[in-house]
Amino acid sequence: MGGGRLADKVAVVTGGAAGIGRAVSLRFAVEGAVVVVCDIDAEGGEAVAHEARASSPSSRFVHLDVADEASWEAAIEAVEQEHGRVDVLVNNAGLPYRRPLADSPLSEWQALMAVNAGGTFLGLKHGTAAMARSGGGSVVNVSSAAALVGVAAMTTYSATKGAVRAMSRVAAMELAGQGIRVNSVYPTSVRTAMVVSDARDSGVGVEEFLEAAAALSPLDGIAEPEDVAAAVLFLAGDEARFVTGAELVVDGGATAGVG
């Protein structure tokens, strides 16, 4: 395999079929990783894996329902059987949700928690077990700026991403002795298909939502998936060998203070 910042590393990316996960998968492939694109969307995941193979021929798609433990066990086993190890895990899969607290059913809170927080929990549990078997690795959990500041109508979503933040810190402490680093990134609104859902739940058009999101940033713009992928790349690779338990915010300064 050629060079690159992730040369010869085996990287598992959840939610890899679209948005941030797609951007991470393709950037990792360019940087020399064997990318395992994991998603519940087989068609989308296969398409991203096909793109990734242009840079990294051994990259592939593995079906994964992040909320299901048996699915995690099967996915990690498949990666170990084919590649012998897991070097990098990006827990990115997640669902959006915006609704006032009074209108938020407990059942929807539980369903979102199962994917956004439960998926990260299961990824940490099974992904790091594989890393421990091969001598260490790097985990990057994708949380959200909504875990750092209060945002109206996002109690449910913020709760799931706050759980990701807490798990990242604890896992960093717990797993350091096994050579496993655990870090997290905190994007604000990103120009992905999820923006359509956020705009709908906010009761505005997509362009209006994007303009409002951009206005929150001192840099006066909205993040692209590639911006988040660049942050994930740094934390995943050996350049960050002495970084664990860190929180990298990708929000154009939106949470830095009051403008």
Q: Catalytic residue positions?
A: 157
| Nearest CA-CA partner of 235 in 54, 27, 72 | 27
Can you give the CATH number for the domain in which 127 is found?
3.40.50.720
Tell whether 2 is covered by a domain: no
Alpha helices in the chain (DSSP H): 19-30, 42-52, 69-83, 106-116, 118-134, 155-175, 194-202, 206-215, 225-236
Tell whether 26 is covered by a domain: yes
Residue 208 and residue 192: Cα distance in Å, rounded? Answer: 15
Per-residue pLDDT of the chain (259 residues; tens, 9 = 90+): 458 999 999 999 999 999 999 999 999 999 999 999 999 999 999 999 999 999 999 999 999 999 999 999 999 999 999 999 999 999 999 999 989 999 999 999 999 999 999 999 999 999 999 999 999 999 999 999 999 999 898 899 999 999 999 999 999 999 999 999 999 999 998 888 888 788 788 888 888 888 888 888 999 888 999 999 999 999 999 999 999 999 999 999 999 986 5
Tell whether 254 is covered by a domain: no
Tokens of 143: 């949380």
Q: Name the residue range of residue 76's domain.
A: 10-188+225-249
For residue 230, how many C-alpha atoms fall within 13 Å in the half-sphere facing its CB? 7
- 44 and 147 together in one domain: yes
